[in-house]
Chains A and B, each alone.
Chain A
Amino acid sequence: MKPQERQGQGPVPSQQALATAQGGGYGWLRRTLANRWVVAVRSFAIFAALWWLFYAWNGNPLQLPSPVVVVEAVWELLVGGELAEHALISTVRLMIALCISILLAVPLGFWMGCSPAVNSFVDPLVELLRPISGIAWLPLALFIFGVGNTLPVFIMVYVGFFPILLNTVAGVRQVDRKLLSAASTMGISRAAVLRYVLIPGALPTVMVGVRLAFAASWAAIVAAELIGSPSGLGFAIEWYRQLLMTPKVFAFILVIGVVGYLCDVGLRSLQRLLTPWSEGTGVQ
Chain B
Amino acid sequence: MNKIIQTSRGLAILRACTLPFILLVVWQLWAMRQPASSPAPLPLQVVLTAFELVSKGGLVQALVQSLGRVVTGFFIALALGVVIGILMGSSRAVRESLDPIIESFRPIAPMAILPIAILWFGTGTSSALAIVSYAAFFPVLVNTVHGVSRIDRKLVLAAQTMGVPRLTVLTRVILPGALPSVLLGSRLAMGVAWTAIIAAELAVGAKSGGGGSGGIGQMMFVFYAYSINLNAIVVCMVVVGLVALLIDRIFRAAEIRLLPWRN
Contact = CB atoms under 8 A, between A and B. Distances in A.
Given A120-B15, A136-B220, A40 B100 contact: yes
Contacts of A233: 112
Smallest CB-CB A-B distances: 6 pairs: A260-B107, A241-B115, A132-B241, A139-B224, A124-B16, A131-B244
B195 interface: yes
B149 to A, nearest CB: 17
Interface string B4-23: 00000000100111111001
Nearest to A249: B115
Contact of A133 (B110, B194, B233): B194
Interface residues of B, number: 58
Nearest to B228: A143
Interface string A210-249: 0000000011111100110000011001101110001001
A174 interface: no
A218 B107 CA distance: 8
Contacts of B98: 43
Interface string A41-60: 01110010000000000000
B95 to A, nearest CB: 10
Contact of A219 (B23, B100, B110): B110
Interface of B: 12, 15-20, 23, 39, 96-101, 103-105, 107-116, 118-120, 188, 194-195, 198-199, 202-203, 206-207, 217, 220-221, 223-224, 228, 230, 233-234, 236-238, 240-242, 244-245, 248
Nearest to B19: A125
Interface size range on A against B:
35 or more
A142 to B, nearest CB: 6
B111 A219 contact: yes
A103 interface: no
Nearest to A34: B96
A55 B19 CA distance: 56
Contacts of A64: 120
B111 A241 contact: no
Nearest to A264: B107
A62 interface: yes
Contact of A253 (B16, B112, B240): B112
A147 to B, nearest CB: 11
B20 A256 contact: no
A253 B199 contact: no
Contact of B206 (A63, A128, A227): A227
Contacts of A253: 108, 112-113, 116
B196 to A, nearest CB: 8
Contacts of A10: none
